Amino acid sequence: MKLKDRLLKIYLILEKTYGVQECFLRHADPLQLMVSAILSAQCTDVKVNAVSPGLFRKYRNVRDFAGADIGKFQKDIKSIGLFRAKSKNIINACRKIIKDFNGRLPFEMENLVTLPGVGRKTANVIRCHAFNLPGFPVDTHVIRLTNRIGVADMENPEKIEMLINKNIPKEYWCSFSQLFISHGRNRCKARNPDCANCEIRDLCDRMKVF
């Protein structure tokens, strides 16, 4: 089976299983999504969603974040891992938005990745969920699943992104990433994947060795 056909089958099965996917990070505007996405590095979305409402009540716009006292900001997000580096990145990203982008979060990939704390994965999350633009965010779940089921044989996130983008219509990119993540959390876990009940087991190379 051609990779394009296989990926489409996987997509349709996962969509039927998990339904229409919304952004896992709660946000009201693009800036809030950027902040939440930076906070989510090596941290669960549940934890970020627990902290972000209070943060967004205190810091309401890009200038509030840019002018934040870093010591106080660190205390605001101290319950989240890597809070020192994340505080620095969020504040500096907002200062750069004001300085270089007239106070508005850019939507172009080449501009987004110039912001501190924003790599391709975060940029794709922002493009997908804040600007409704095509993008395929690659996180640890996506890396694990694409390799485990045999559609990729690489650990490089950008190469996986390019592979999927080449073989799936761009209108599916964002939701496909979300579906992979949902499947990774619910069925195809890092430890003890539930292969016996997996909805895509017939399309998984892992199952061919059992």
Q: Please tell me which residue in 45, 47, 121, 153 is annotated as part of the active site.
A: 121
* 75 annotated active-site: no
Tokens at 198, concatenated: 């997996």
Mean of pLDDT over the chain:
94
Least confident of 20-24, 25-29, 63-67: 20-24
pLDDT tens digits for range 63-104: 999 999 999 999 999 999 899 999 999 999 999 999 999 999
Confidence grade of residue 207 (pLDDT, cut at 50, 70, 90): low
Domains 3-22+136-209 and 30-131 share a fold: no
Q: What percent of the chain has pLDDT over 90?
A: 93
Q: Is the domain defined by 3-22+136-209 classed in CATH 2.60.40.1180? A: no
Q: Is 139 one of the catalytic residues? A: yes
Active-site option among 139, 153, 166, 202: 139
CATH architecture classification, 30-131: Orthogonal Bundle (1.10)
Q: What is the pLDDT of residues 145-172, one digit of tens each?
A: 999 999 999 999 999 999 999 999 999 9
Instruction: Answer whether residue 208 shows pLDDT above 60.
Output: no
The DSSP secondary structure of the chain, one letter per residue, reads --HHHHHHHHHHHHHHHH-SPPPSS--SSHHHHHHHHHHTTTS-HHHHHHHHHHHHHH--SHHHHHT--HHHHHHHTTTSTTHHHHHHHHHHHHHHHHHHSTTS---SHHHHTTSTT--HHHHHHHHHHHH--------HHHHHHHHHTTS-----HHHHHHHHHHHS-GGGHHHHHHHHHHHHHHTS-SSS--GGG-TTGGG-GGGGG-
- Identify whether the C-beta of residue 85 lies closer than 8 Å to the C-beta of residue 73: no
pLDDT at residue 109 tops 80: yes
How is the chain split into domains, by residue range?
3-22+136-209, 30-131
